[in-house]
Amino acid sequence: MRSPLRIDVSVRSDVGRVRKNNEDSYRVVPQLNLFVLSDGIGGEAHGEIASAIAVETVVAHCLEGEIDPSAPLLGEMRRGPSSKTNRLASAVYLANRKIREWADSNPAHRGMGATILAARIDGHRLSLVHVGDSRAYLLRAGVLEQLTSDHSLVAELARQGSIIDEADFSETQSVLSRALGAEEEVEVDADEHTVLEGDVLLLCSDGLTRMVRDAEITHTLLTQREPADRLVALANQYGGADNITVVLVRVGCDSGGLVARLCRWAARSPDATPLGGS
């Protein structure tokens, strides 16, 4: 039997250098190993309200399910995934409904919406659900893997094999093909992964990934003692065009383990400095 994993979490959220307010919301629920992040959409339509509704709804629905596993689920029951993954997906359906209801009852807030990214670790199982372009990455043995697929116009065009020039990319990178609050029904991506000792899970809003390349994210995670702080600083250094939220989850990296020793060695190495700007 595998021993229980220890979970260490660090979170940073920043308004960036362009926006006047932070429309990102997040929650960490240690007793559930639940991590939720939402990026609000709408500007004057108050995207920060949409993201707060999304996060609080997901957390409340999961806590309810923990107290009463028979509490009803929304959406289609997925036969492969676990009950906890189905509960997460149900929470996202409910969040979409609540954002729609709020906007309908508050005309000034019509047009608001949000992305949602929620992860829950149960033993060695990672449940992951998302809508939008907030991303989840897994760093394992020095390799960074993106676990989510962006629901954006740029990503859809790329998946179709369309060629996007730099001008098109700058104009369409923030256009979402899916978001909470956009329609009465929402399609939710739900997946499960295995987590191992030494893994690092990164959840982030697009304020990070629009500014910092994956290679530099990897380097930062491997070499920095406070990588969440450094990632936010890098996003701001490269323009800070959007709000930036980073949730870092380190899995079972005990002080005597091989991964921990490698991390300490990398941090002491004279060559272990963050990459410069592109």
pLDDT, tens digit, 9 for 90 and up, residues 93-142: 999 999 999 999 998 888 899 999 999 999 999 999 999 999 999 999 99
> Who contacts 97 (Cβ-Cβ below 8 Å, separation ≥6)?
74
User: Looking at residues 157-167, what average pLDDT do you find?
Assistant: 60
Q: What is the pTM of this model?
A: 0.86
Q: Return the pLDDT at 266.
A: 46
261 by Cβ neighbours in 10 Å (0-12 / 13-18 / 19+) ranks as: exposed
- Domain 7-268: CATH superfamily is PPM-type phosphatase domain (3.60.40.10)
Indicate the pLDDT class of residue 5, thresholds 50, 70 and 90: confident
> CA–CA separation, 110 vs 99, rounded Å?
10
Beta bridge partners of 131: 116
166-199 pLDDT, tens digit per residue, is: 544 455 567 899 999 999 999 999 999 999 999 9
- Domains of the chain, by residue range, sit at 7-268
Tokens of 195: 């987590």
Share of the chain above pLDDT 70, in %: 82
Neighbours of 141 (CB within 10 A): 9
Indicate the range of 39-43, 67-71, 81-85, 126-130 predicted with least confidence: 39-43
